[in-house]
Amino acid sequence: MSFKQEIRKNFPKWPIYDDSEIKALTNVIKSGNWWCGSPGVHQGENVWKFQEEFAKFQGANYCIATCNGTVAIESALMALNIGLGDEVIVSDYTFVASASAVIATNAVPIFCDIDPETLVMDVDKVESLITKRTKAIIPVHLGGNPVEMDRLMEIANENNLKVIEDCAHAHGSKYKGKKLGNWGDAGAFSFQASKVLTGGEGGAVICNSEDLADQIYSYTDCGRKKNEYFYNHYSYGTNYRMTEYQAAVIREQMKKFPKQHELRNQNAKYLSDKLNQIEGIKAMKPTQGTEELGWYIFPFVYEPSKFGGISKKEFYEKLNQNGIPTDDCYPPLHTLECFRKIKLRKGIDYSNANWGGEKSSDNHFPIVSDIYRRSIEFPHEILLSSRDKLDYIVNVIKSFQK
């Protein structure tokens, strides 16, 4: 994330709020109900209502709110019984949380290279990563762009693997008639401040199995069971509850979402079409079958030879010098310091991992390594600006070729 606020001044700021968020927060404070309580005894109403509203919003039967998106992934993994030494296939091009949540459960993430056009997990590469220890897959819908979930679910079902969709970028994304997060066993969302739906921090898991929903709830609320005595703890659990403050703000943001979502989708199409007309620019291609996209980020890839050989750093600098805000792309997971050194959790055998030491060499992840060297990202707010601002961006990029 770029924190260069001064560059952002000519583009919409994020988050966008008005008096309704302030009022909602004030109401929580005045109510004296500062936490959600338990299902039997609601202290506040926001978390409970949010769960219902978000399940409906994303087309799922159940939603369990959590304090952030990282622990939403962890909770889904724990409830699906992923643990010690199990292998979980994760996209290599994502935020660290997609893999650190796996580490937290004492399982081992296995990194999967991406498709050079859609920039998401290459489903063709998944099967070659499956071993006897593989228990789950975490497809990450980067920028809200769907992993080919129909094909991925076939592979998962054939191999008896659980699927947790990382939907941190995919609020509102819809693929082949179904919203993301409903294809796999569970979908994990984030409402962190930069996300397209936010409460500053926050997370949620959606799913369609009541039994799984109960287990996820239990893990996030101290091993309790719905509507049972408060001090009965039936299984190992922890406290990952969302606060009333978070839920109150997210609920207001959810009302603003549909209009913003539509505008992001229209403007992303407009900007992609214009950028793709420039020789040597390829905007992230929506996966075939995509109906709506979350557009948390807008990535595009450039061909250095068509731009006088400029480096990515120079490309970023030139955009910023022209007053255009950018976001940093995620360094591929296999390059991160923590995954080079291997010493992550005491007592866990990481020798089967496809990362660490020599294995973290870029040669083993050719597509993502190439893409990362020449990809540029815009933050989603730019997709809320007027068409003349988008034209301006296109013209500035064209001028780099002169």
Ligand X SMILES: *Cc1c(COP(=O)(O)O)cnc(C)c1O
Residues found near ligand X in the complex (CB under 6 A): 68-70, 94-95, 97-98, 140, 166, 168-169, 190, 192, 203
Minimum CB–partner distance for residue 98 and ligand X (Å): 5
Active site residue 195: yes
Residue 327 annotated to the active site: no
Q: Which of 166, 185, 221, 327 is catalytic?
A: 166
Q: Residue with CB nearest ligand X?
A: 69
Residue from 135, 162, 241, 374 carrying the catalytic annotation: 241
Residue closer to ligand X (CB basis): 78 or 278: 78
Residue whose CB is less far from ligand X, 310 or 338? 338
Give 70 or 182: the residue with its C-beta nearer to ligand X: 70
To ligand X, the closest distance from the beta carbon of 99 in angstroms equals 9
- Residues 169, 143 contacting (CB under 8 angstroms): yes
Q: How far apart are CA 60 and CA 207, in angstroms?
A: 6
Candidate list 8, 141, 162, 169, residue with the active-site label: 169
For the bound state, the minimum distance from the C-beta of residue 257 to ligand X, rounded and expressed in Å, comes to: 17
Which residue in the list 8, 135, 195, 334 is annotated as catalytic?
195
Least distance (Å) between residue 194 CB and ligand X: 7
Taking the complex as a whole, the smallest distance from the CB of residue 297 to ligand X amounts, in Å, to: 9
Choice among 95, 302, 315, 316 that is catalytic = 95
Rank residues 46 and 98 by Cβ distance to ligand X and give the closer one.
98
Residue 203 CB, shortest distance to ligand X, in Å, is 5
Report, in Å, the least distance between residue 342 CB and ligand X.
22
Cβ-based nearer residue to ligand X, 162 or 274: 162
Q: What whole-number distance in Å separates Cα of residue 151 and Cα of residue 360? A: 28
Q: Is 365 assigned a catalytic role?
A: no
Q: With respect to ligand X, which residue has the nearer C-beta, 108 or 140?
A: 140
- Candidate list 179, 224, 264, 380, residue with the active-site label: 224
Distance CA 33, CA 293 (A): 36
Would you call 171 a catalytic residue per the annotation? Answer: no
Nearer to ligand X, 112 or 390 (CB): 112
Contacts of 360 (CB under 8 A, 6+ apart): 334, 335, 339, 340
Candidate list 51, 192, 215, 246, residue with the active-site label: 192
Q: Is 231 a catalytic residue?
A: yes
Question: Which residue from 288, 301, 292, 302 is spatially nearest to 268, judged by alpha carbons?
Answer: 292
Q: Catalytic: 241? A: yes
Residues catalogued as catalytic? 95, 166, 169, 192, 195, 224, 231, 241
